[in-house]
Structure formats: C-alpha cells, structure tokens
Amino acid sequence: MCGIVGYIGAKQAQQILLEGLSKLEYRGYDSAGLAIYNGEVIQIEKTKGRLKDLADRLSVSELTGHIGIGHTRWATHGKPSDQNAHPHTDPETRFAVVHNGIIENYMELREELTAKGYHFVSETDTEVIAKLLADVDDGDLVSTVQKAVSHLTGAFALGVINQAEPDKLVAVRFASPLVVGVGKGENFIASDIPAILKYTRDVYVLEDGEMAVLTEDQVHLMKTDGTPVKRKTMRVTWDMETAEKGGYDHFMLKEIHEQPQAIRDTLSGRLKDGLVDLSGEISLLPQEIFQIDRIQIVACGTAYHAGLIGKYVFEKFTRLPVEVEIASEYRYRNPIITDRTLVIVISQSGETADTLAALREAQKSGAKVLAITNVVGSSVAREANEVITTWAGPEIAVASTKAYTTQLIALYLLATYFAQVLGTKDENECREVVKSLQQLPVQVEKTFDCETEIKELASKIADHEHLFYLGRGLDHAVALEGSLKMKELSYIHSEAYAAGELKHGPLALIEEGIPVISLATQESIFEKMISNIQEVKARGAYVVGIAKEDNTELQKTVDQVIYIPPIIDLLVPVLTVVPLQLLSYYTCLERGFDVDKPRNLAKSVTVE
C-alpha cells in the first residue's frame, strides 16, 4: 500500500503535492518523492524516510511548475532507499510515473527490457513501468499509457506525466484505489479523498480498468481501450478527520474492512498455474527444503497466535514436527537447534525486540531463519536468511487485524509450497487449497454481513467483567486471538481455553449468565465441541456459537449463532477471526474506551 497524488493547474504544484501526501502517510511512510515539470524538464526529488525529510530537502531546493505527481511509499519490492523511492523515470526522463500496487509480471518485463538495453537503477517493480512507457512511446501520451498498461499484470494505480505533453496528467486504475478531484482551473488525482479535500469536494472514483486524462480545465474518463466513460462527480460531505479514516469512525474498523484487499495483495504474484510459486522470492533450494527435519515458529502476541495456526498447517501438509515458541522465552531456555532446523520468525513491524533476539539466537546455533514481516527493510527482514513480506500496508491502530490475517496467508502459502516441493501432499489437494485461498477475499467481504448482529451482541456483553472463548484445534488458536483482542480493547478479563480442558479446572469459573464465545467450525470434531458447549450451558452460561452457514445443528445447543461463509476447514481461521475482531471493537465502543490507542500498549514493541 502506497499513496499517490497528482496536480495540474495554475498554481505551483509542490506545496499542493506535499500537503496531499501528508494526508496519505497512513498508506506509507518509508520514502517519498515528487516529479514536477518546470517548463523545460521534469525535475525529480525523492528520499528515504518520512515526508518531512522530503519537505526539508525541498525547502532548500524548491521544484517549480504547474503539473506534477507525488508518492509516499510502503515498500514491497526493494528496501526503503533513495533509489527505490518513487517517482521513477525512463533513461531520458521523458516520463515520470508513480504507482500504488504490485506488478506481478515485473521480472519478466524487466528481463525483456534489459535485453533491449535498458538499465535499471532500483529494485522496484514500478521502474519497469517507466521503462516500458519509453519503449512503447508512439508520441501520444494517452495511447502510450494504454499500450504499456496492456503489458502489465497485477494491481496498480498509476499517475503519469510526460515532458513532451506537459498539458496532460494521465491516471489509470486496476484493483488499487484512485480518485480524481475536479476543481476550477485545476484538477487532481489521489489514492484517497483526504489528499485533495482541501481543494475540492467534487470527485470521480475510478473503477477497475478505467483511466482519466486531466488538463487544467477538463477531465476525460475512459476505459483503457479508449471507450469513453460518462459519470457524474460525487460530492464529498465528510469532514477531514472522517475522510482520513475513509469514512470509518476509527482506523481499526477501517483496517478490519481492508482485510479482503490485504489478502489479495499478499497472494498477488505468488500463485502460478494453480499452485504456489515462491521460487523467485525465497532462495531455499529443493534439496535444502528436503534437509529440514523440524520447524520452530517464534513470535509474540498476535503473531504468536498466527504461528499456532501455522503449526497445524505445516504439520498437516509437510509431516514435519513443528514447535511454536513465545519469543520472549525462546532464547532463555537453551532451545534445541541444529543446522537442519528451520526457524520461522513472525513480526508485523520487523522490529520486535524479543523476536529479533530469538532470530539471532537461532542463527548463532546454525539454523536458517525465515522471516514473515510487514515491513521491507526492517531489522528482522535484513537479518533473516529468507523473507516473505506480507502486503498488509501500514497498520495504524495498535490492535492488529489485517497484519494478522496476512500473516496467516503467508503461512498457508509457505506450507503449501513446501508440500509441493516435498511431495507430501497430492498436487490436486494443493490446487484445491490454492483455489480456496483465491476465494478468501470475497468470503471475508461476506463475513461483514454479521456486523449488525455483532454490534448488538457487544451491547449485551459490555457490562460483564469476565468472558470466555472456547475452541478445538484451529478454532482454539483463533479463540486465543479473539480473547487477546477483547483484553486489549475492552479491558474485560477474557480467557480462551481448549474446549476439552474445561473439566480439568476452568469449568469452576462458569456461572449464571457469563458470556462464552464458542467456535465450532471443524467438522471432524464438531460433536466433541457440542459436548463441551453443553457443559457450560448446564452451568448457566450465555453461549454464542460461531459456525459455517450450512451448519444447522449448533443453533439447537447455543443461545445465539454467528455464521461465516463456507470454506474448507483449513482456511476457516481467516474468516472466524473477523467477527471476533468486530466484537472486540464494538465492545470497546460500548465501554467508552479509545479503540485505536488502548492503554499501556504500543504498536511496535522494541524493548524486552
């Protein structure tokens, strides 16, 4: 996730672009840059770091001109650096382009363009677009962009300017958000409405496969094949604070609803011909994978809960023994590590102190370390032997939501890839998993249908001081995450138990009216779960069940059922966590607490 802006009009572009980018820093903040045409050439200024670093540079060396594009980056391809920052250009700086999204076939295009003599200076997929524009240039900016786009596969929102046609700004959208702002004698593009709200409230929201051609006085919408598009502008009535949250009341709710796109992005470029392909991303050779005799997953908090699901999936798919370790305990217990151990560390920020220490301990003992992180260029990403990046984009709310789901996706991808290499799963089974993974974004969107019901449930449980979550197998791992979210946000004492453990002590805590959230999605152990639910019902608990929508049995036993769309049991955790996230969110609101900044907690835990 990155943020892009563009301006064409009578005013100086630099300040408008910087102000726009300042409203998009929630979309990325590891580098930033501008490209502005000054009447003779396209000037570029870009830098690693926050937008302030760019602004400081520009205060010394101002870019003048009335047309330009800008970008604030959340790295996916290539570490944060001046060279990898956008905008990117062709060798003669005829074209400048900013990009939000992922070009899946960029390596293939890069090889083709390199063979034609083009030299690349960055590690990004975006630079391919700039070189491709130069390669297919026919003297007309609009048709050149159309030709270039026809070669691209993936998700992208583009802003393009051309030295030869400085009276035009061209924008394109495929699966990444982009809006066009319409002013008087000036027009704008942006990844999100807040970036242009100071200047106009009249916008077009581009749809997939559409492009916009902006001049000072006009905006022309069309399909990328040139077919004209007729649409009225939308009038934005939100205030700025609401607009920054995309119309949502809080960043957490926005990030919960961003999960379908985050899943799409994390899958992007990693599936090929119906199977998982990580060969271009991790350097582990098949013979090295065959040498692995055990896996250790090390993480903290929410990432640890993702690791618990990873254990289940890896053992099922690879038949390798898997241990899941809390990072803060790992290095103090003298773990058994050999050169045949693969250690997988998971960290949203890539700066978690305990996880980083565990990584170093594992490497010191001879293990290879594979990191799953959301931040390219983070300490964990730099020091690990292998890295799989989750493309969740920046997560502003302290309580993790979309980072967790994308960690799950990364683990599913990795386990399936290992199974393909090892031959421990039939190819048809792997294809079925991949097919189901591709369905997940739509299934998560359907899961939001329960939101009104969840809001009503939150009002029922908000006055309770104790809450319990139950589950078996994968459901237990998700119950732990649901319970953690409830503790983090509502400050209700919440516990999650493996349902079969009730009779070994926790049943003593069940009393009349106490809420118990019971996950019952795993078909192979459903009857066992029903027995456990009956145990708490008999002691007076108010039981809320979570089940697939084709399950009609659970409602006979519980007080209320929340349904999720049907999916294979293995992938159910991606769906069941959504109502639990929403429940913690709405319970927090009912109790009057700060959703995005719960007390005593920080987003990145950089101390032991």
Instruction: Quick: pLDDT tens for 192-214.
Output: 888 898 999 999 989 889 999 99
* Whether the Cβ atoms of residue 276 and residue 429 lie closer than 8 Å to each other: no
197 and 267, same domain (yes or no): no
State the virtual CA torsion across 514, 519, 520, 523 in degrees, nearest 10: -160
Cα–Cα nearest to 58, from 37, 81, 35, 91:
35
**Parallel/antiparallel/unpaired status of strands 322-326 and 294-299:** parallel
In a domain, 601, yes or no: no
In a domain, 51, yes or no: yes
pLDDT of residue 50: 84
Q: Side-chain half-sphere of 243: how many Cα atoms within 13 Å?
A: 21
Q: Which residue has the tokens 């990403």?
A: 381
* Whether the Cβ atoms of residue 211 and residue 171 lie closer than 8 Å to each other: yes
Whether residue 226 is predicted with pLDDT greater than 70 in this model: the reply is yes
The sign of the CA dihedral 194, 199, 200, 201 is positive
pLDDT of residue 342: 97
557 and 465, same domain (yes or no): yes
470 and 441, same domain (yes or no): no
In a domain, 140, yes or no: yes
Structure confidence by residue, pLDDT tens digits, 417-436? 999 999 999 999 999 999 99
Separation in Å, CA 421 to CA 130, 318, 384, 485: 36, 10, 22, 36
Whether residue 76 is predicted with pLDDT greater than 80 in this model: the reply is no
Residue 571 DSSP code: G
367 and 464, same domain (yes or no): no
* Whether the Cβ atoms of residue 576 and residue 583 lie closer than 8 Å to each other: no
280 and 345, same domain (yes or no): yes
Structure confidence by residue, pLDDT tens digits, 10-55? 999 999 999 999 888 767 678 899 999 999 999 999 999 888 889 9
Q: Which residues of 538-569 are buried (b: 16+ CB within 10 A; e: fewer)?
A: eeebbbbbbbbeebeebeebbebbbbbbebee
Separation in Å, CA 488 to CA 354, 397, 493, 515, 594: 20, 12, 10, 18, 11
**Parallel/antiparallel/unpaired status of strands 179-182 and 186-190:** antiparallel
Kindly indicate the confidence band of residue 606, based on its pLDDT and cuts at 50, 70 and 90. very low
Structure confidence by residue, pLDDT tens digits, 106-156? 999 999 999 999 999 999 999 999 999 999 999 999 999 999 999 999 889
Higher pLDDT, 109 or 503: 109
In a domain, 598, yes or no: no
Look up the CATH number of the domain holding residue 277: 3.40.50.10490
Kindly indicate the confidence band of residue 442, based on its pLDDT and cuts at 50, 70 and 90. very high
Q: Last residue of a domain, which of 398, 413, 445? A: 445
**What is the residue-averaged pLDDT of the chain?**
92
Look up the CATH number of the domain holding residue 89: 3.60.20.10
Higher pLDDT, 82 or 258: 258
92's CB contacts (< 8 A; 6+ apart) are 134
143's CB contacts (< 8 A; 6+ apart) are none
272 and 400, same domain (yes or no): yes
Whether residue 550 is predicted with pLDDT greater than 90 in this model: the reply is no
Whether residue 218 is predicted with pLDDT greater than 90 in this model: the reply is yes
585's CB contacts (< 8 A; 6+ apart) are 250, 252, 253, 256, 489, 595
CB atoms within 10 A of CB 279: 13
552's CB contacts (< 8 A; 6+ apart) are none
Which structural domain, as residue segments, surrounds residue 585? 448-591
* Whether the Cβ atoms of residue 256 and residue 401 lie closer than 8 Å to each other: yes
Asked which of 75-84, 254-263, 388-397 is least confident by mean pLDDT, the reply is: 75-84
**Parallel/antiparallel/unpaired status of strands 322-326 and 341-347:** unpaired
Whether residue 377 is predicted with pLDDT greater than 80 in this model: the reply is no
Residue 300 a catalytic site member: no
423 and 554, same domain (yes or no): no
Position 508, amino acid? A
CA distance linking residue 571 with residue 413, whole number of Å: 11
299 and 423, same domain (yes or no): yes
551 and 412, same domain (yes or no): no
193 and 318, same domain (yes or no): no
15 and 38, same domain (yes or no): yes
pLDDT of residue 605: 57
Asked which of 342-346, 373-377, 484-488, 581-585 is least confident by mean pLDDT, the reply is: 373-377
SS3 content of the chain, % helix, strand, coil (to 5): 40, 25, 35
Q: What are the backbone angles phi and psi of residue 205, rounded to the nearest 5°?
A: -100, 110
Q: Last residue of a domain, which of 408, 426, 445? A: 445
Domain count, the chain: 3
* Whether the Cβ atoms of residue 276 and residue 417 lie closer than 8 Å to each other: yes
In a domain, 318, yes or no: yes
Structure confidence by residue, pLDDT tens digits, 347-364? 998 888 899 999 999 999
Whether residue 603 is predicted with pLDDT greater than 60 in this model: the reply is no
Structure confidence by residue, pLDDT tens digits, 291-323? 999 999 999 999 999 999 999 999 999 999 999
pLDDT of residue 260: 96
**Omega of the bond leading into 87 within 30 degrees of 0 (cis):** yes
Separation in Å, CA 584 to CA 406, 427, 459, 536: 19, 39, 11, 22
Q: Is 357 exposed, middle or buried (0-12, 13-18, 19+ CB in 10 A)?
A: middle
Residue 2 a catalytic site member: yes
Q: What are the backbone angles phi and psi of residue 345, rounded to the nearest 5°?
A: -105, 140
Whether residue 253 is predicted with pLDDT greater than 70 in this model: the reply is yes
Q: Last residue of a domain, which of 445, 480, 505? A: 445
Structure confidence by residue, pLDDT tens digits, 583-597? 999 999 999 999 988
Q: Side-chain half-sphere of 328: how many Cα atoms within 13 Å?
A: 9
pLDDT of residue 223: 96
Whether residue 607 is predicted with pLDDT greater than 50 in this model: the reply is no
514 and 366, same domain (yes or no): no
CA distance linking residue 95 with residue 138, whole number of Å: 13
In a domain, 214, yes or no: yes
In a domain, 515, yes or no: yes
Residue of 48, 168, 487, 603 marked active site: 603
pLDDT of residue 608: 53
In a domain, 245, yes or no: no
The H or E element containing residue 53 is helix 51-60
